[in-house]
Structure 1
Amino acid sequence: MQPQWVPTEADIAQARITDFATFVAERTGAPVSDYRALWQWSVDDLAGFWRMLWEYFALGDVAGDVLGSAEMPGAHWFPGTRLNYVDQVIRQLRSDRPAIKSVSEDGPVREVSWAELIDSTAAFARTLRSLGVRPGDRVAGYLPNIPETIVAFLATASIGAVWSACGQDYSPKAALDRLGQLEPTVLVTADGYRFAGKAHDKRADIAALQAGLGTLRATVAVSQLGLDVPDATPWHEAVSDTEAISAVITTETVDFDHPLWIVFSSGTTGLPKGIVHGHGGVVLEHLKALALQSDIGPEDTFFWYTSPSWMMWNFQVAGLLVGATIVCYDGSPTYPTPDSLWRIASEVGATVLGTSPGYVLACIKAGSVPHTDHDLSALRTVGITGSSLPTSSALWLGENVGERVQVSSISGGTDVVSAFIGGVRTVPVWPGELSAPYLGVALDAFDQTGQPVRGEVGELVVTAPMPSMPVRFWRDEDGKRYHEAYFDTYPGVWRHGDWITITDHHSVIVHGRSDSTLNRHGIRMGSADIYQSVERLPEVTEALVIGAEQPDGGYWMPLFVVLAPGEELTEDLKSRINSTIRTEVSPRHVPDEIILAPGIPHTRTGKKLEVPIKKLFQGADPARVVERSAVDNPDLLDWYGTIRPSGSN
């Protein structure tokens, strides 16, 4: 297969990563003539790479060693070195471009200047201090994706307190399952949000949260809908301290691994795990991921469609670390039309737009032609994450968004609040593949015996530590849950839980989660390959495939499909689905049954619930298999709980 995008000489010369490679070569003499060589050096000399990154971005003095211990788990980065995430944001202060462009469904674009952002951060930090918030205390957010959410996070971080948030689409129970673990001192919220043309009043849910969070000292509420939130300080009062100007903003200098934020796992099989990340690891990782891997800088407008519930919100905020303008959108990506994200990208002049394979597929099925219908002349890169991007969707982006627009699929996770693999401005893009491992990520693919494999499916592993690996899990004092999550399979090696293939040109194909592996007749297969073929059919809206071992030793592999309005699951359609899978994937992937489903259940960050549904089919207790509050449509679980193989009782 030929690349669909190849960097020009100008792309390579102007890329920030090229400048970094020159910086490294001049100071170390390392052989970093191209990206592959630079990556190899970055994993062979971990301490040298991360020190060079620190020096390249002029982050200050290093107290001593870069890597005190490289053991996993338990690597100790930059012992004795102190910093604060917010200092790197303050350094970007400028007057020629806004810090944030805020977009809503029903109003004009609102711009927040850098001075306004820093002034508001300083003022809200003063309010938090006046409420007794101290370093290490937790501040919780129950908010939409608006500038005030960013201000609240930055203010929290500036005083060394710990931020954690979820979007207001979460029910009070789902929010309490997460935020309640943290015993927060302050809740920052909003009276409601708008989505798909409807206003959602959240005051009753806020009251439930206030009642459930017994450690709260105060609630601060942003007015989105013009409603009064009882027992809450209005946001405008909390940021009205005129003495808190940018010239005197003070930050609390903290240890490298001092907690910055706590992000949560999906929580589908019990209470969500609180994943703690430190100031230093996040700053370094996000500077690398944004500036070097994504080539985002001070002249860019960075727009990723996301929510405060998802780590991509944290990733987008990192645009501020490199001086970019970031875009907050509080609304539906398909309202009022399926191509609304492209329209917004045009309105704000986005140079980098991030979305999901599902959204791209929805645009394909709607017949959208973004580059014809909208002015996307500023757009340089389309980022993709959440699941694997099919080859056909990648090619569609090239044809309908722009042939010189780089399609940059990334794959990583909440666990490292970044990516392991993704695009690079100096490396070609092959459709359906991720261009390269990120710098400093000792990525490999292992077979079941722990041996590296190439050109075939293996487990995604990372064989050396990264600074943004979790500091710890919340309430996991002995580290047992942390160890079980990543290090039980291959001792001392991070196993992420994805199937990947590393190709002969060093790109990576992601096949889906290895804990939901299809294992028919001893042949391991990824579910993503099936979804990519089936979901392209115009009759199919979405699909879910499950491989469930049966008590009698058999193996049942049904395919559930949700059909477009007006379509029926006829024998002809079943035959075409099977033929598509047989031709485009393999005969082994053809399902045992095709079943019409009322919907596909997901985590609230959009991942299909393959493992919990598999356990339901194997007779597990539904109450123990999945936490309903973590599911986007929990009523679907009842329907799946009734499904059994044809002919069984």
Structure 2
Amino acid sequence: MVTAEPTPDSQLQALWRHPNPTQTEYYKFQSHIEKKYSLSLNTPTSLWQWSVDNIPEFWAEAWDYTGVVASKRFDSVVDDQAPMFPRPQFFAGARLNFAENLLFPKADVKEDGLAVVAATEEGRRSYTWKELREEVRKCQASMEGRVKMGDRVVGYLGNGIHALVAMLAATSLGCIWSGVSPDTGPTAVLERMEQLEPTILFADNAVMYNGKVHNNMAKLTEVLAGLEKLGCLKSVVVVQTFGADTEFNDSLSSLSLPGTEIISYDNYLGSGSPSHKLHFEQLEADTPIYILFSSGTTGRPKCICHGAIGTLLQHKKEHQIHASMTSSSVFFQYTTITWMMWHWLVSGLASGATIVLYDGSPFRPNSHASMPTLINELGVTHFGTSAKYLSLLEQANLVPPPMPTLTTIFSTASPLAPSTFTYIYKTFAPTVHLASITGGTDIISLFFTQNPLLPLYPGQIQDRGLGMAVHAAVGMTPDGTLEEAEAGMEGELVCTKPFPSMPVCFWGPNGLDQYRAAYFSPDDEFAGRVWKHGDFIRFHPQTGGVEMLGRSDGVLNPAGVRFGSAELYGLLLREFSREIEDSVAVGRKKAGGDEDVVLFVVVNPEWDPPYGSDWWEDLEARVRSSIAKGLSLRHVPRWIIRAPEVPVTGNGKKVEVVVKGIVNGKAKVGAAVVNGRCLEFYRQWAERLKREEEEAK
């Protein structure tokens, strides 16, 4: 463990301060708590401290302040003396329905107000609240006779209205929803859906991406063949997204599954009673609603099951209190239905916001200006995307048009480089709140997020989420006292108190064991007493902001000195954005437990290197020199290798753990690597290096 390198003074200059902090919902909520509990919360982080010191009181206040719709209020919030594992029950005695909270929020929405905009590369379709409710009513009428409570309903769908409607209909009846994007291959789909044994499967017959229509029927046929042996599917509902040409006209006739209904989406909706009344099953607060999946990069994906109140209340807290989202907001998160951020997006309805569902390439039809143009067209106030997308805009030196409605940019999926923070404030708007946020599929919400009462510094996430008792820790004493890392020192991201969006279970026969192993292993340095998230972080000693350093299982440890790969990525983006398109850094084990750092880089194909055969040697030398000067000699990799691609998951995350496994000769690669063909390069490099070392002995 080493202390952090001091942050240069120039980076400690705040990029942003809220112009009217007293007008934010965060401030108003803090004032409410002060008045009700006779407190003086006189620092920007005092509210967080109160929230984690008073877990039951805080979550009860969040329930009331954000407006949870329930037919019966809770009898108790949570036993704050209970251990974190097994997961304690939240809001015992309450009865509510997740879908009802999204379709009939307490926020002031009008029936003819805009609820959803479904956008593609080529068109837009708007839905009022009345129209959305009617679509769900028809879907529920058709679904009700085909499912029972607790059944799994799955989608193999693009991010459009059909996925939203099917999810709302399923959860309105007490079913569990799980979605996979159509760009996912059949093997990966089956690895997930076989574990769920779904009753109904919704699927697109085709999708459009980057101006090209991609037929989904061949993949769907393979998925159905894999599910046939389970005998679970009662209905396959095919959305005929494309059908005007002969290639897709006969899509339904190409499917066959004995004993299973194959039906078009339109005919499916028409099969329900026209007089059916939309209704909502009133269920326990922790009733499962979603199943999301672990990345599957080290084996079969784990089925992470999330409950109604945890998902709902966390999202309402994050949207309303942290981000000041209201019924006047327009929320656009660029995502697929697989990613946790889709679930975060659709929960915007529970705050009365208009949500934008976009299906297609973020660079169509106007290259890098496409998303800023859409933001202006739809009057988006809150825009969410990946750090990778923002870095691509930075590399392209895009200067977007003015976006007068935009108040907030959410950045997630990976750490946002300090230079990208600076780029946003130079080119977008000085008033926009750039909110780097992080949490994960595991908690379907955020550990760290924005705090409008704090200044914003490059490369840092402003604050911890309210009610989230998260710390950077190095271990635990025998008596159970957490040993926190000193400010400026690296530590594991841990959470020490229960929170409602902890998974209610892992689906499957070994779910309890998988749950414990994922976060509460009794063999780790915390003896299974606190939630260990698997991320390596540090709190800045001067600002208190959090810096994400990478996955703790991918932390680099040369000569016993640990640092996060994000430090290397940030420097490369800042100083080599013209030459290097992407990179991935991993550790290669040596005898005696030490390791060497290997940095794989993808050269930007649009870069025109200087004439001569030694351009690569020159680039490598400049990278080594910059790392030594900008970080330290400890950070300089032993090898810098040209690679064709960096392996990523469906939401664009670098899959460091897979590359590290290959480099160390023990990778078990799951199908979540969407560009898995590039892994052969890493295998060949590792095998060649091993042969060379053996020959040198």
Bin of the TM-score, shorter chain as denominator length = over 0.9
TM-score calculated relative to the size of structure 2: 0.88
Could you tell me whether the CA contact under 8 Å between 2:413 and 2:653 is conserved in 1? yes
Structure 1 counterpart SS, 2:629? helix
One-letter identity of the residue aligned with 1:26: K
Contact 1:266 1:605 (8 Å CA) reproduced: no
Count of matched residue positions in the alignment of Structure 1 and Structure 2 = 637
Pick closer, same or farther for the CA change 1:529–1:348 going to 2, 3 Å. same
Identify the residue that residue 571 of structure 2 maps to in structure 1: 533
Match of 2:122 among 83, 97, 106: 106
Give the Å deviation of 1:553. 5.3
The runs of 5 or more residues in structure 2 that have no matched partner are: 1-11, 256-261, 477-481, 610-614
> What secondary structure sits across from 1:510 in the alignment?
strand
Task: In structure 2, give the amino acid aligned to 1:593.
Answer: W
User: Whole-Å Cα distance in 2 between the matches of residues 409 and 615 of structure 1?
Assistant: 29
2:669 is aligned with 1:626: yes
The verdict on how the C-alpha distance between 1:468 and 1:197 changes in structure 2, with shifts beyond 3 A counting, is same
Question: Which residue does 2:330 correspond to in 1?
Answer: 301
What is the match of residue 25 of structure 1?
Answer: 34
Q: Is the CA contact (8 Å cut-off) linking 2:417 and 2:573 kept in structure 1?
A: no
The equivalent of 2:252 in structure 1 is 229
Moved more, 38-47 or 329-338: 329-338
The CA RMSD measured in Å over matched residues stands at 1.8
Q: 2:559 aligns with which of 521, 533, 536?
A: 521
Q: CA deviation at 1:484?
A: 1.0
CA contact (8 A) 2:287 2:308 kept: yes
* 2:678 partner SS: helix
Letter of the 1:78 counterpart: F
Aligned to 1:637: 679
Q: Within 5 Å, which residues of 2 pair with 1:536-615? A: 536=574, 537=576, 538-551=578-591, 555-565=595-605, 567=608, 570-615=616-661
Aligned to 1:148: 162
Q: Indicate which of 213, 216, 227 corresponds to 2:233.
A: 216
State whether residues 288 and 306 of structure 2, in contact with CA within 8 Å, keep that contact through their aligned partners in structure 1: yes
1:72 aligns with 2:84: yes
TM-score using structure 1 length: 0.95
Q: In 1, Cα distance between the equivalents of 2:681 and 2:208?
A: 30
CA distance 1:244–1:161, shift in 2 (3 Å): farther
Q: Is the 2:555–2:563 contact (alpha carbons within 8 Å) kept by the matching residues of 1? A: yes
8 Å contact from structure 1 (residues 165, 179) kept in 2: no
- Pick closer, same or farther for the CA change 1:476–1:438 going to 2, 3 Å: farther
Which of 91, 94, 111 does residue 110 from structure 2 map onto?
94
Does residue 1:500 correspond to 2:546, yes or no?
Answer: no
1:216-365 matched pairs, under 5 angstroms: 216-226=233-243, 227=248, 228-230=251-253, 232-240=262-270, 248-336=277-365, 337-365=367-395
* Contact kept? 2:333, 2:356, Cα under 8 Å: yes
Is residue 123–residue 245 contact of structure 1 (8 Å, CA) maintained in 2? no
What is aligned with 2:441?
A: 414
- 2:4 corresponding residue in structure 1: none
Shift of 1:607: 1.6
* Partner Cα distance (2:195, 2:650) in 1: 19
CA distance in 2, matches of 1:390, 1:162: 37
Counterpart secondary structure, 2:502? coil
Instruction: Name 1:400's counterpart in structure 2.
Output: 427
Deviation at 1:264, TM superposition (A): 0.5
Map 1:3-22; keep pairs closer than 5 Å. 3-8=14-19, 10=20, 12-22=21-31
Shifted more, 24-33 versus 414-423: the winner is 24-33
- Post-superposition Cα deviations, 1:297-324, rounded to whole Å, max 9, x if no partner, equal 1111101110011000000001101000
What SS does the corresponding residue of 1:570 show, helix, strand or coil?
helix
For residues 446-468 of structure 1, give each alpha carbon's deviation from its aligned partner in whole angstroms, at most 9, with x where no partner exists: 01455112221111111101100
Match of 2:63 among 44, 54, 68: 54
Which amino acid counterpart does residue 429 of structure 2 have in structure 1?
G
Q: 2:196 corresponds to which residue?
A: 182
| Equivalent of residue 160 in structure 1, options 149, 174, 187 | 174
Structure 1, 161-170 or 501-510: larger mean CA deviation = 501-510
Task: Tell me, in whole angstroms, the C-alpha distance in 2 between the residues paired with 1:567 and 1:68.
Answer: 62
| 1:386 equivalent in structure 2 | 413
Q: Give secondary structure in 1 for the equivalent of 2:483.
A: coil
SS in 1 for 2:127: strand
Rounded Cα–Cα distance in structure 2 between residues aligned with 1:307 and 1:564: 26
Equivalent residue in structure 1 for 2:496, among 460, 463, 483: 463
> Is the CA contact (8 Å cut-off) linking 1:68 and 1:78 kept in structure 2?
no
2:511 matched to 1:511?
Answer: no
C-alpha distance 245-66 of structure 1, shift in aligned 2 (>3 A): farther
Q: CA, structure 1 residues 86+273, in 2 after alignment: closer, same or farther (shift >3 Å)? A: same
Within 2, Cα distance between the matches of 1:606 and 1:634?
A: 13
Q: How much has 1:126 moved relative to structure 2?
A: 1.2
* Contact 1:142–1:166 (8 Å) recurs in 2: yes
**Secondary structure, counterpart of 1:277 in structure 2:** strand
1:477 is displaced (CA, Å) by: 4.7
8 Å CA contact 1:302, 1:325 repeated in 2? yes
User: 1:445 aligns to what?
Assistant: 472
What CA distance in whole angstroms lies between the structure 2 residues aligned with 1:527 and 1:25?
Answer: 41
Residue 604 of structure 1 and its aligned partner are, at CA, apart by: 2.0
1-structure distance, mates of 2:457, 2:269: 48
TM-superposed deviation, 1:338: 2.2
1: CA distance, partners of 2:312 / 2:173: 16
Aligned-pair CA distance for 1:211:
2.1
Deviation at 1:556, TM superposition (A): 2.3
Unaligned 5+ segments in structure 1 are none
CA distance in 2, matches of 1:281, 1:35: 25
Secondary structure in 2 matching 1:447? strand
Instruction: Confirm whether residue 43 of structure 1 aligns to residue 43 of structure 2.
Output: no
**Which residue of 2 is the match for residue 367 of structure 1?**
397
Secondary structure (helix, strand or coil) at the match of 2:537 reads strand
Cα distance in 1 for partners of 2:552, 2:274 equals 50
Residues 1:135 and 2:165 aligned together: no
Identity across matched positions, percent = 35
Contact kept, 8 Å, 2:141 with 2:273, in 1: the verdict is no
